[in-house]
A and B are shown apart, each in its own frame.
Chain A
Amino acid sequence: MLILAITSLVIRVIVTVWTCLAYRRLRDRRIGLAAALALVLTFRMILSVFWADFSAWSKSDLWDQLIAFFISVLLFAFVTVTIRLMEEQQQLEELQRKTNAERESLLERLSTLLDRMPVGCILNDVEFRFIFWNPAAEKIFGYQFEEVRGKHPFGMITPQSSQPIVEQIFRRLSVGDMTANAVSENITKDGRTIVCEWSNTPLFKADGTFQGILSMCQDITERTRTENERESLLKRLRMVLEEMPIGCILTDSEFKFTFLNPAAERTFGFREDELLGMRPLDTVVWPPSRPLVEDRFQRLAQGDLSASGSNENVTKAGRVIVCDWSNIPLFNPDGTFQGILCMCQDITERRRAEIERESLIGQLETKNAELERFAYTVSHDLKGPLITVKGFLGLLEQDLQTDDRAAVKSDVDRISAAADRMKQLLDELLELSRIGRIVNPPQVFPLADLAREAAEHLDGQLRERNVCVEIADNLPTVRADRIRLLEVLQNLLENSVKFLGEQPNPRIEIGSRTGAEEPIYFVRDNGIGIDPRFHDKVFGLFEKLAPDSPGTGIGLALVKRIIEVHGGRIWIESAGPGTGTTICFTLPTTGKTDYASRRESDS
């Protein structure tokens, strides 16, 4: 009985303390109640212990004791359970709170994310109506979320032009196509058309039914515009490079081709892919020009901006051309040599034209000088007879006054002769200038016949001087302007007659001999000969070897002109005085002559 009583008391005290402590910790009302109960019951027991005698108390009814004990145990159990439950609940609540806090914090982050992200984030339901739209989307399209909630994009942000595409995308998304992304035009609230890039994801419920879509969209109008501009700029640049008529070439730092534009391809006859990686020095530079170009390359690598110029190049076909090169060295930002940019132009034609021009200018200058000399000579040689005429007219006047008949006659004769000479001069000049444009077509005839004809024309002179004319029988057939050639032979015969000198057996021979390349025709006389010093002078305009000899001195110049127009040559063979004279000339039979080509151009 005592043990029971003490145990009950102890239990009650422990419980009381425990619940009080628990209450302090957990602060729960129920625990407080339990604490109060425990306290009351414990106090009651203590009071009853103090009120009654302890022994008396301990001797109380066993049944009471048992009940008191039972109550204590019950109390103990109750409190234990209660406290346990309390603690569990508290833990759960703690967990819940923590979970909630975490969820809260996550939601907040999500919210911030959605609010702050620069990309528009939009949710559409299964009928594609807007159910969410973040601030970025508001900014892009100008609509607040409330304005678009529950509305369909068509009629809001999707213009007519984009609707078919977007329709198709919605369809694809609804069947699970994860790649239904697009770039399309949209319109903003204030009516601006923008270009947006859309990344769309379909959303499905756990059972697989289509729930809606999540889209991220970005306004790429600016980017598109910039890209378009860049594209257009690139296109222009490309067009310039493709179309420019000047070759444009790039090389790397080892002077190997890295780029050729079409003009360069055309100039050298290579395709770009045939030359990439090859060295210009090995491919398009004319071997003898290699040192020059090599030197230029080296100078360019040193930064010499003046290493440009022209040089010979060679095409794929092996043709040698001349190109003008403008070279610029290229450097990396760090200053290292990167390669060279070359512009090249084929100036072969230009060079040829320049050379031809120089030649033509030279020819023109020569012709001009000839003309000047001609004009000078003419004016001088017309003055002579004119002075004679005027002079003797003056003398005539005097002689008429003194009535010197003989003198008058002589004066008149001289005047007349001078006038005749002037006329002859003018006629021959005209002839000479005309000789440049032969009008007669070439004929084929035996030279012997022509020689005989010429001799006949001079019959009078020949007979007078008792000249023997020999015409060789080996004279061939020739092709020439018959009339002109007749003049030539006549002139040569006349000349020979003039310079026969005094001798018993004057002889003139017309013949031919074989020369190195062609037959040489000659008119040889045994007359007084011509000093070698004067062999060239003889053919000069108005040069006469004997003063006042008949003729105006044009004769041989005319002859020379005629022969040269036929493409032949004429020269004199004479050792000097007393050895006779041989005038030789050629008439080429093959190939184009000035005469033949002129004839063709005339017809």
Chain B
Amino acid sequence: MRDQPLLILLVEDNLDHAELVVRSFRDHRVANVIRHVTDGEMALDYLFRRGPFTDAVNTPRPDLILLDLRMPKIDGFEVLQQVKSSSDLHRLPVVVMTTSDAETDIAKAYDCHANSYVVKPLDFSQFTRLIQELGLYWLAWNEPPE
């Protein structure tokens, strides 16, 4: 069990969806800090500490990445591939959270070594439950790498 707040990097281009995620985490009082970036390029800049994110202090390594797939410029797959092929970052747990339930997307995500794949539910109560359980699992149960 962790006693520190979970730092989640939320990579999501849809501002509405991001709001839903943040609110859900807050409502369920899962201890967490959420950093939100709106496209793949920003996500990579943050993770590799480049561009506007060169300050290491202000860009702590996240404990979990929630990653959307379809984003403008650099998409989720690209981010996933880069993270998982980086010697520094490949152990970071990445949970793909997307609207797509297509077999091809799921297969591709796992091929790129995603740690998990969840489909955003249409039903709001389901949505909040997902967030709650997600938080519980990764905060409470999962052993993070060093």
B132 at interface (Cβ–Cβ under 8 A)?
Answer: no
Q: Which of A387, A543, A546, A548 contacts B127 (CB 8 A)?
A: A387
Q: How far is the CA of A392 from the CA of B122 in the complex (A)?
A: 11
CB <8 Å contact, B122 and A386: yes
Q: How far is the CA of A386 from the CA of B14 in the complex (A)?
A: 12
Q: Which segment, of A297-305, A344-352, A376-384, faces chain B?
A: A376-384
A71 at interface (Cβ–Cβ under 8 A)?
Answer: no
Closest CB in chain B relative to A311 CB, distance in Å: 45
CB <8 Å contact, A547 and B124: no
CB <8 Å contact, B72 and A543: yes
Q: Which segment, of B16-24, B56-64, B108-116, faces chain A?
A: B16-24
B15 at interface (Cβ–Cβ under 8 A)?
Answer: yes
- Report the contact-size class of chain B (Cβ under 8 Å from the partner): 20 to 34
Closest CB in chain B relative to A417 CB, distance in Å: 8
Q: How far is the CA of A387 from the CA of B100 in the complex (A)?
A: 12
- Set of chain B residues within 8 Å of A390, measured between Cβ atoms: 122-124, 127
Q: Within A369-410, which residues are at the interface with B (CB < 8 Å)?
A: 376, 380, 383-384, 386-388, 390-395, 398
B92 at interface (Cβ–Cβ under 8 A)?
Answer: no
- Set of chain A residues within 8 Å of B39, measured between Cβ atoms: 547
Q: How far is the CA of A564 from the CA of B89 in the complex (A)?
A: 44
Q: How far is the CA of A379 from the CA of B41 in the complex (A)?
A: 25
CB <8 Å contact, B15 and A391: no
B1 at interface (Cβ–Cβ under 8 A)?
Answer: no
- Set of chain B residues within 8 Å of A380, measured between Cβ atoms: 70, 99-100
Closest CB in chain B relative to A435 CB, distance in Å: 24
Q: How far is the CA of A395 from the CA of B16 in the complex (A)?
A: 12
A498 at interface (Cβ–Cβ under 8 A)?
Answer: no
What residue in chain B is nearest A386 (Cβ atoms)? B122
CB <8 Å contact, A544 and B20: no
- Set of chain A residues within 8 Å of B23, measured between Cβ atoms: 395
The 8 A CB mask of A410-423 against B (1 = contact, 0 = none) is 00001000100000
CB <8 Å contact, A545 and B73: yes
List residues of chain A with CB under 8 Å of any chain B CB.
376, 380, 383-384, 386-388, 390-395, 398, 414, 418, 531, 534, 543-548
Give 8 A-B contacts (CB < 8 Å), ordered by A residue: A387-B16, A387-B17, A387-B127, A391-B16, A391-B17, A391-B20, A394-B125, A394-B128
Q: List 3 tightest A-B contacts by C-beta distance, closest first.
A: A394-B124, A547-B13, A388-B16
